Structure 1
Amino acid sequence: MSEYSSAAARRLSQIGSFFRPNKRAMTIPWNPDSTEFPTRNELPKIEGAPEGAAWVWGKDDFVGRLNLLTPSRVLAASKEIRTGEVVPVNLPLNVPEVPAFERESFQHEIKTLVENAAYDDKYSLNTQSGTQWDGFRHFCHLPSGFFYNNTRGEDIVGPNANHKCSVHYLAEHGIAGRGILIDYLSYVKKNGIEFNPYDHYEISYEDLERCGKDQGIDIRPASKGGDIKIGDIVFIRTGFVEAYYQKPRDERIALARRHSDLSAESGQRWAGLKQEPAMLDWLHDCYFAAVAGDAPAFEAWPTQYGWYLHEHILALWGMPLGEMLDLEGLVKKCREQKRWTFFFSSAPANCPGGVSSHVNGNAIF
């Protein structure tokens, strides 16, 4: 090849690289359109950040893994809409009647504007009292005291409070992408496994892997030959909602009022994902845009290992974490259609300075 031809080829290659996103995210801030991302064990060390922090989208980023919901990925996810059937995943605002972790119950009052002619609603609620997104202000990395992307408690409350990591950034970005349901409750019933959503029970990565195989899903990321795509939103059904409606009212109220603290002996006891390295690897390396479950705590509560998945998911990775979603109608529709993927859309509350939000979510088939 002549020197001219060689130079022209190099130039064409450079032009092509300019118009095509880098295949592998390497330089911070990462390009969200990349098709390969580092594993948890490959994360770059970020000066001033805790070990394992993935604050990789820029110093002023407050949407975290939602960056992965690029227009091209949302467009691809829209192909999941085939019948147009809509399945809401939101509990009524007054369910649970008495929320876990000593949270305030929902209060509703009707205000009369003009008798027999016009009325308003007045709500008093804790955004963590029912179907919820945990925002990045909700739970810090306990050893360092950092919330996501260099946010501190003084940024949230007090004289220097500001909007760093406010939930309104999630609202302004929007949440829409491909959802995938892992139905662990049906798996334990099918296999005769003793299981109580109202007690401490650890669901390991191996448990989820076996459950996925039973459904016909390979829960590994696509980069390893599995069915999980970058930017997917995973939903894990552990059966809390079903159990809530089955229990007598007095019993479920008493269980919700169990003593709450961060010790291994906490009276608040819930089934959920196991705090283990394999679970961390899976949750991180799949590059989910968000994760969600149907229980008061996404992970097994209380932790027996001195750390929480909340710390990694929210503070270190910036991944919205959903709890208390009503997945009962969703699992029924998935069975009817014999598929476990769907389009999902959620509209968090646009509350500047807010910590969390109700989900306001729909699965569309």
Structure 2
Amino acid sequence: MTTSQRWKNRPDGSNWGDFGPDDQVGRLNLLTPEKVRQGVAEVREGLAFCLSLPLDYPGGNILNPRRHPPALRPTVRNGRPNMNYRLGDDDPDVTDVICDDLVILHTQYSTQWDSLAHVGQLFDADGDGKPEALYYNGFRPDEHVRGPSDPKDAGGANIAEARSTSEAQALGIEKMAETCVQGRGVLIDLHARVGRERVAVGYDLLMSIMEADGVEVESGDMVCLHTGFGQLLLEMGRKPDPASMSNACAVLNGRDGRLLNWITDSGLAALIADNYAVEAHPAVNHSGCCASLPLHEHCLFKLGIHLGELWLLTPLADWLRSRKRHRFLLTAPPLRLPGAVGSPATPVATV
């Protein structure tokens, strides 16, 4: 696969081809050995923070009706559930007791990464005047990102009868996992400035918060936005309130062009938040032909910036703020699941 085979024109403001014609990891190319060393240099106390929610949070399917909590079940052994299974049955000389299970998992239900195959756009890349569906770096549906056409082959209800599978043969989450996703994390504490108020954060507000807290973002940093949303979900105990969820905590304003330009110019390698979609969803002032998720378009489609969502950042944010710090070592690979367009994550921050 080469650039000339996939596109003649690239979207305005994109970096298609800058990391090579067949690049599939985008700005994670900036996680160089030097960035890993910078992250390691932030480890002073040897304390680690788990940045994942329990994967059965938020609970129910209020945030997204298509995504459901994980279903955990034992495997079957000799026709019986393989949980607390005695291998020897009544043989007193065999003392082993075995548990073994499986999970049916919606990959983007809880703490997650979006792969670069998660969101694409219509764009006229071959110059024939007709926009076609594309993903980052010109990869195409059906050819590179495949899925079933029959709804019977999709959705959890029909999983046993599904005849075909979805598969991102390019841009799958395993490409992200292979980079190891380790380097310097930088936390921007929006919650400390606006509390749990629903605020659409644009460029001006973001810059004022960063300046007040002395936060600097350099090329290759992984940026984490603390809004308090993940902590709010924990407090609701797997019973999220729809009204509270739709009006709680800060979100980025994906319609703010200067904010998008800052994301481009900063050189950040990944963008992460503890809220549902990083940006306001639905987007601010959505109308006409504009992308319904403009920040997703800018990051996933144009720049190859992976997005992390629904992380748990409050304990880390509180610890950093109490010590006037904002940098740490972040280790956050997704599952190495070939073909998946998203993945749960168990990120670790080490300070």
Q: Residue 234 of structure 1: SS of its match in structure 2?
A: strand
Q: Which runs of 5+ in 1 are unaligned?
A: 1-28, 30-45, 218-226, 259-266
1:245-260 counterparts in 2 under 5 A? 245-247=234-236, 252-255=240-243
Partner of 1:127: 107
Q: By how many angstroms is 1:48 displaced? A: 2.8
Q: Residue 210 of structure 1: SS of its match in structure 2?
A: helix
1:143-158 counterparts in 2 under 5 A? 143=123, 144=131, 145-154=133-142, 155-158=144-147
Q: d(CA) in 1 for partners of 2:301 and 2:247? A: 22
- Residue 104 of structure 1, aligned match among 68, 87, 97: 68
Q: Does 1:181 align with 2:160?
A: no
Q: Give the letter for the 2:321 counterpart.
A: R
Q: By how many angstroms is 1:268 displaced? A: 9.8
Q: Residue 342 of structure 1: SS of its match in structure 2?
A: strand
Q: Residue 36 of structure 2: SS of its match in structure 1?
A: helix
TM-score (norm 2): 0.77
Partner of 2:47: 85
- Kept in 2, the 8 Å contact 1:141–1:312? The answer is no
The number of aligned residues is 295
**Percent identical across equivalent pairs?**
31
Q: By how many angstroms is 1:78 displaced? A: 1.3
- Deviation string, structure 1 residues 2-57 (Cα, Å, up to 9, x no partner): xxxxxxxxxxxxxxxxxxxxxxxxxxx9xxxxxxxxxxxxxxxx833222221111
- Kept in 2, the 8 Å contact 1:268–1:301? The answer is no
Task: Say which is worse superposed, 334-343 or 274-283, in terms of deviation.
Answer: 334-343
Partner of 1:166: 172
Q: By how many angstroms is 1:142 displaced? A: 4.4
Q: d(CA) in 1 for partners of 2:231 and 2:326? A: 19
RMSD: 2.6
Q: d(CA) in 1 for partners of 2:233 and 2:307? A: 21
Q: By how many angstroms is 1:346 displaced? A: 1.1
Q: By how many angstroms is 1:92 displaced? A: 0.4
Q: d(CA) in 1 for partners of 2:248 and 2:170? A: 32
TM-score (norm 1): 0.74
Q: d(CA) in 2 for partners of 1:151 and 1:62? A: 9
Q: By how many angstroms is 1:344 displaced? A: 0.5
Partner of 1:51: 12
Q: Which runs of 5+ in 2 are unaligned?
A: 76-81, 87-95, 124-130, 149-165
| Residues 270 and 315 of structure 1: CA distance in aligned 2, closer, same or farther (over 3 Å) | farther
Q: By how many angstroms is 1:335 displaced? A: 2.3
Partner of 2:298: 312
Partner of 2:208: 210
Partner of 2:161: none
- Residue 61 of structure 1, aligned match among 9, 14, 23: 23
| Residues 320 and 354 of structure 1: CA distance in aligned 2, closer, same or farther (over 3 Å) | same
Partner of 1:33: none
Q: Residue 213 of structure 1: SS of its match in structure 2?
A: helix
Q: d(CA) in 2 for partners of 1:209 and 1:271? A: 15
Q: d(CA) in 1 for partners of 2:22 and 2:276? A: 31
Q: Residue 149 of structure 1: SS of its match in structure 2?
A: helix
Q: Give the letter for the 1:106 counterpart.
A: P
Q: Give the letter for the 2:324 counterpart.
A: K
Q: By how many angstroms is 1:242 displaced? A: 2.6
- Residue 332 of structure 2, aligned match among 346, 359, 362: 346
Q: d(CA) in 2 for partners of 1:96 and 1:351? A: 23
Partner of 1:32: none
Partner of 1:244: 233
